[in-house]
Structure 1
Amino acid sequence: MADFDWNHMRAFLATVEAGTLSGAARQIGLTQPTLSRQIAALEDELGLLLFERVGKRLQLTHAGRELAAHVREMGAAAHRIGLAASGQSSTIEGIVRITAIDLVAAYVLPPLLHRINMMAPGIVLEVIATNAIDDLMRREADIALRHMQPDQPDLIARRCPDSDVGLYAATKLLDAIGRPKSAEDIANMPIIGFPENQMLIDELAARGIPLREETIRWRCASVMINGELVRQGYGIGIMFREAAKDMTGIEELLPDMEPIKAPMWLVTHRELHTSRRIRLVYDALYEELSRRNVRGG
């Protein structure tokens, strides 16, 4: 297709990010029927099925996933052209506060923020490592990276590529108690968890690991501290593969097990529409997170 309607592509990308037609329509200021017609028109133009409905959400087909990667690149290129044309990257100044869980703040953000700083040196980037989810509503931060989709109407959220989570243990612990040969073996080993573990229990149960609350010996809300407890050999815990690959003395258990997917949402307040510096950092972060996923971390 040599010519295309960018509005159709914009509607498609918004639907990819929101996961629902209603969410996408709110994000780009269209009615749901109008957005549905634009998606249908794009599918007709391409002769491809881009989405399949799974419950209340839409799931990309293989063709849809391939198209989404190209459309993201187009959107990022348009953003860079706009910055270059206006010269705003060198003239925008001020502080932008970014909040994320401690592990993301330590392992994911630094290289991304370095590239943003090179692009817009007048912006001061302040990182706040916290697991709190209401810091945006209290205006303690401008942008947040979260693993849950916010439901507050005053917040704007874009879904970034998911992160993979696996099960890990220290080599010295496994040398002492033995390496599990099956999913059932893990259920009887000491587990490092969180104050609220139902989601973890459900995810592992879906993978054949019948985890019980009483086997969770350590509980901490900090993902980074939990990772250190794993590294020091106190038990088995879940870790982001991206962070675990740089650690020594640990092993992934059952590496062929289907990874747990940790969704990543880039969230900001509606002030995004009136603050040039927040908009610049928000868009650049989304671009960098998407590129990071394509590069494999």
Structure 2
Amino acid sequence: MDWRAVTFDWNRARAFLVTAEEGSLSAAARALGMSQPTLGRQVAALEAELGVALFERVGKGLELTPGGVELLSHVRSMGEAAQALALGASGRTQAIEGEICLTASEVYAAHLLPPVLGRLRAEHPGIEVEVLASNAMTDLRRREADIAVRNVRPTQNDLVARRLPDDEARLYAAPGYLDRIGRPRTSEELARAEFIGFDRTNVLITHLRDRGLPLERRNFPILSQSQLVQWEMVKAGLGIGIFPTWIGDAEPRVERVDAGVEPITFPVWLVAHREVRTSARVRIVFDMLAEEIRRR
């Protein structure tokens, strides 16, 4: 290598990388703890040095030019190398440490995350984990959490998402309850059963009707927005509930209620802030979650 030809300024490269990740000079300046004019001069100096326009202004934000897109992966690799160098210099290359917040629905948080967290704690004990079990959509852009398990695809450009294998749910009930109502075998017989619902809207009713179940509001005498409460009610014989097959089939106190009803499939997305590209801690947890969820 001709080292005399290597005159690259890492500070300018870092300014470009963070601006590309954050989407604006103001956000990048806050992330780096410097003034916006100083950051802007570093980016402009890099453009002059390379002879390439890296950004173009779109509204109040910035978008990468084709040349900027082409160079970003190289600069991102430099950022990862710089981070590895800093960790190595401090003797923490293998000791990934810090806090991370995960969010998932109640049923995923209770049944999906524990074995993942067990492996994570065994392999990376320096990572401290907070779990937000919520059926509401946590705002990753406001950093309410670092990584989310969701059933809808994110639409925000500043989030990174990975599609995982679809999940499948079926109807489940306690054997005693099915015995009491005569073990329905058809959708018409199921229309006389009682179901555990989420709320007083018709969203679930409409969805089940689309699948051939002629249900009415009277079929849902018990409601709870808590998935875990619903599951306990199903196991207690209070009615029929809808749950993922990998949970329902593993529970000896319930059984499937087929009655000709096709399983309900829905997507699973693993979502993170784009920091997943630069943070070793976030990336490790993100990849481990993806790996373990695929095994469910």
Give the TM-score normalised by the residue count of structure 2.
0.64
Matches within 5 A, 1:109-120: 109-120=113-124
Q: 1:256 to 1:125 in 2, by over 3 A?
A: farther
CA-to-aligned-CA distance 1:267-291 (integer Å, 9 cap, x gap): 111222332211221122112222x
Name the counterpart of 2:107.
103
- Count of residue correspondences: 212
C-alpha distance in 1 between matches for 2:201 and 2:123: 41
C-alpha distance in 1 between matches for 2:163 and 2:262: 21
C-alpha distance in 1 between matches for 2:202 and 2:153: 18
C-alpha distance in 2 between matches for 1:194 and 1:98: 24
Gaps of 5+ in 2: 1-63, 67-83
- Would you say 1:244 and 2:245 are equivalent positions? no
Name the counterpart of 2:4.
none
Name which of structure 1's ranges 102-111 and 254-263 shifts more when overlaid on structure 2.
254-263
C-alpha distance in 2 between matches for 1:191 and 1:137: 36
Name the amino acid aligned to 1:92.
I
Name the counterpart of 1:254.
258
Cα deviation, residue 171, structure 1: 1.5
Do 1:167 and 1:254's aligned partners in 2 also have CA atoms closer than 8 Å?
Answer: yes
C-alpha distance in 2 between matches for 1:30 and 1:222: 47
Name the amino acid aligned to 2:292.
E
Q: 1:255 to 1:210 in 2, by over 3 A?
A: closer
Do 2:190 and 2:259's aligned partners in 1 also have CA atoms closer than 8 Å?
Answer: no
C-alpha distance in 2 between matches for 1:177 and 1:155: 48
Do 2:177 and 2:239's aligned partners in 1 also have CA atoms closer than 8 Å?
Answer: yes
Cα deviation, residue 266, structure 1: 0.7
Do 1:143 and 1:267's aligned partners in 2 also have CA atoms closer than 8 Å?
Answer: yes
Choose from 258, 263, 276 the match for 2:280: 276
Do 1:166 and 1:255's aligned partners in 2 also have CA atoms closer than 8 Å?
Answer: no
CA-to-aligned-CA distance 1:13-69 (integer Å, 9 cap, x gap): xxxxxxxxxxxxxxxx999xxxxxxxxxxxxxxxxxxxxxxxxxxxxxxxxxxxxxx
For residue 221 of structure 2, give the secondary structure of its aligned residue in structure 1: strand
Name the amino acid aligned to 2:285.
V
For residue 239 of structure 2, give the secondary structure of its aligned residue in structure 1: coil
Cα deviation, residue 174, structure 1: 1.6
Percent identity reads: 43
C-alpha distance in 2 between matches for 1:200 and 1:288: 29
- Would you say 1:204 and 2:237 are equivalent positions? no
Do 1:147 and 1:262's aligned partners in 2 also have CA atoms closer than 8 Å?
Answer: yes
Name the amino acid aligned to 2:161.
A
CA-to-aligned-CA distance 1:147-171 (integer Å, 9 cap, x gap): 1222233322211112211101112
Aligned residues: CA RMSD: 2.7
For residue 137 of structure 2, give the secondary structure of its aligned residue in structure 1: coil
Gaps of 5+ in 1: 1-28, 32-82
Name the amino acid aligned to 2:188.
E
Do 1:203 and 1:260's aligned partners in 2 also have CA atoms closer than 8 Å?
Answer: no
Name the amino acid aligned to 1:229.
M
C-alpha distance in 2 between matches for 1:273 and 1:170: 45
Do 2:102 and 2:145's aligned partners in 1 also have CA atoms closer than 8 Å?
Answer: yes
- Give the structure with higher Rg (CA): 2
Q: 1:154 to 1:269 in 2, by over 3 A?
A: same
For residue 180 of structure 1, give the secondary structure of its aligned residue in structure 2: coil
